Structure 1
Amino acid sequence: MKARVAAILATATSLALLNTLVLTPGAPEVFASDVFGSLRLPGDAAFIAGHRGDRSVAPENTIAAFTAAFENPSMQFVETDVQLSRDGVPMIFHDTTLKRVTGSPKRVADLNVAELKRLDVGAFYGEDFVDTRMPSLDEFLELAGGYDKRLLVELKADWTPQQLAIVVAAIERSGVGSRVLLQSFSIETLQNLQSAAPKQPRMLLIRELPADPVPMALRLGVLALGTTAQSVTAAPQALQRLHEVGIGVVCYTLNSERSWAEVQALGVDGIITDTPSDLDGWLADNAPGT
């Protein structure tokens, strides 16, 4: 029965992708199945993405956390966040202000690279990480080049075409561009990215799925939507519609067995988590074939 459903979905997806290419100007040349391996059926194991690296063993968004994530065989993706410094350098950091991590009330955009590099982004996590420094996007991509993981890179807030060009250039220099999926909550950013780098795979982050998110996803040329477990369970038909046209669905940031079970039952393609090793163990016990 499962094989029959898979065949039906594959046929529907192929027809939908053909229609998308023919009818939708600027449709992406890379599809979710190219990046995710395949789209999942209900009950299939989702891929695992480490949230800001592997936060369970090192401070978030640091070289230590990324190294742990890259060396963890359970993870297929590593997620991170990018903001521009005052002097226009893409830096790896999540929060709107630096307060929680460094104690400074300022924002990344308020300081230049030299000033940001003087901040300690590890002491808040524990004594073993005192004097840890904030990495740049270039440093993150250079590290990624030594591994085979795919990268989910969130562009925080709104980005102009000129600002996006800086990030796209860094990705192109790195040699790992085929493994980078850019993501954002900002429609403006995704529209600008669609114009500036139409071939760069991208994902829309959205807290609540509309009943039919397909028109919006096709208009933006995204290959996936990232959303919450609550949104997917409230609108499972939206996930099904996206899969029917070959668009993936990823859920963030899920750290409990209950949430993992809910989204796996619906066929979510990927799970972003702070506890990748725990999720890997749970999938081994609850997803046949993993």
Structure 2
Amino acid sequence: MADLPTVPLPEGFLTAPLAHRALHDLAAGRPENSRAAIGAAVTAGYGIEIDVQLSRDGTAMIFHDYDLRRLTGEPGAVAQRSAAELSAIPLLGGREGIPTLAEGLACIAGRVPLLIEMKDQTGALAAGPDRLERAVAEALEGYEGPVAVMSFNPHAVAAFGALRPDLPRGLTTDAFDDEEWGLVPAATRARLRGIPDVAATGAGFISHDVRDLASPRVAALKSQGLHVLCWTVRSPAQEAEARRVADNITFEGYAPAAPGA
């Protein structure tokens, strides 16, 4: 990967806490990554973090898992269904189907910061076809509002940067331990622990696992001026600890103070 230019992260990403998979709450009928959860986050004044997967026919869908079962009860992979089929599958705990990224963007309409995580499509955090990156870039054509894109897969971030060098991008980062990342080759995990692809991807930020914020590499990157976000904060006490390192948080399960509150 050749080095890409860095695009500054808009200020809103450093002030508005980011609702993880939008402001989801099953008890209130708002499944994760749903239009209802997105609308609730906008109303509350939070930034929004969402995930995107690719449909069989090349549409970016707002959905976290590779497989449909946990969130819909349906068998099979997201990539095996068309966008129309996915949109017709109800999310468990809600009253709506899986939204396209375009539908999510229309819901937000630039009113709050949006952080889009492109889910790895290779299964190994490796280089692969750029179909998802192209689908995200296409959906963002003409979108007006603070938006940034990130991925655990640095190849995906670089591919998106080549398509949309004008948009902020970052790396989702982790300690990449064996238990959670066992399907990824050990050599790849060892390399990614060092977060070596900041310059190559033009990353203006990382979003790091809150459990690993004490990493010396995170401290070194922050000292170099890189913005540090983190995931996933689940209590006020954890937020207070995370903010000793992180510039902002991605949260779920409680209500942090929103800007102006």
Q: TM-score range by the shorter chain?
A: 0.7 to 0.9
CA distance in 2, matches of 1:219, 1:106: 35
Relative to 1, partners in 2 of residues 1:244 and 1:213: Cα closer, same or farther, differing over 3 Å? farther
Calculate the TM-score normalised by the size of structure 2. Answer: 0.81
Contact 1:83–1:93 at 8 Å: present in 2 too? yes
CA distance in 2, matches of 1:245, 1:31: 14
Relative to 1, partners in 2 of residues 1:97 and 1:119: Cα closer, same or farther, differing over 3 Å? same
Q: Secondary structure at the match of 2:23?
A: coil
CA-CA distance at 1:244 after TM superposition: 2.9
Relative to 1, partners in 2 of residues 1:37 and 1:166: Cα closer, same or farther, differing over 3 Å? closer
Calculate the TM-score normalised by the size of structure 1. Answer: 0.73
Q: Secondary structure at the match of 1:173?
A: coil
Q: Secondary structure at the match of 2:142?
A: helix
What amino acid is aligned across from residue 132 of structure 1 in structure 2? E
CA-CA distance at 1:138 after TM superposition: 0.7
Determine the structure 2 residue equivalent to 1:248: 227
Contact 1:84–1:91 at 8 Å: present in 2 too? yes
Relative to 1, partners in 2 of residues 1:47 and 1:142: Cα closer, same or farther, differing over 3 Å? closer
Work out whether 1:189 is the aligned partner of 2:156. Answer: yes
Determine the structure 1 residue equivalent to 2:199: 218
Determine the structure 1 residue equivalent to 2:209: 228
Identical amino acids, percent of aligned pairs: 27
Contact 2:158–2:201 at 8 Å: present in 1 too? yes
CA distance in 1, matches of 2:132, 2:218: 32
Contact 1:90–1:137 at 8 Å: present in 2 too? yes
Determine the structure 1 residue equivalent to 2:24: 55
> Which stretches of structure 1, 4 residues or more, deviate above 4 A after TM superposition?
209-215
CA distance in 2, matches of 1:211, 1:141: 31
Structure with more helix by fraction:
1
Determine the structure 2 residue equivalent to 1:269: 247
2:8 maps to which of 4, 7, 31? 31
Contact 2:208–2:228 at 8 Å: present in 1 too? yes
Work out whether 1:134 is the aligned partner of 2:98. Answer: yes
Q: Secondary structure at the match of 1:265?
A: coil
Contact 2:175–2:193 at 8 Å: present in 1 too? no
Q: Which has the larger radius of gyration?
A: 1
CA distance in 1, matches of 2:41, 2:13: 19
CA-CA distance at 1:97 after TM superposition: 0.6
Specify every segment of 5 or more residues in structure 2 that has no aligned partner in the other structure, as ranges: 122-127, 177-190
CA-CA distance at 1:156 after TM superposition: 0.8
Aligned-residue RMSD, C-alpha: 2.7
Contact 1:86–1:109 at 8 Å: present in 2 too? yes
Relative to 1, partners in 2 of residues 1:115 and 1:136: Cα closer, same or farther, differing over 3 Å? same
Alignment of 1:1-290 (within 5 A): 25-28=3-6, 30-32=7-9, 34-36=10-12, 47-56=16-25, 57=28, 58-73=30-45, 75=46, 77-121=47-91, 124-125=92-93, 129=94, 131-145=95-109, 147-158=110-121, 160-176=129-145, 179-208=146-175, 216-233=197-214, 235=215, 237-266=216-245, 268-275=246-253, 277=255, 279-280=256-257
Contact 2:173–2:195 at 8 Å: present in 1 too? no
CA-CA distance at 1:118 after TM superposition: 2.1
What amino acid is aligned across from residue 113 of structure 2 in structure 1? R
What amino acid is aligned across from residue 120 of structure 1 in structure 2? P
CA-CA distance at 1:256 after TM superposition: 2.2
Q: Secondary structure at the match of 2:257?
A: helix
Q: Secondary structure at the match of 1:174?
A: coil
Q: Secondary structure at the match of 2:96?
A: coil
Can you list the C-alpha shifts for 1:184-222, whole angstroms capped at 9, x where unaligned? 001221121222222221110111299995753122210
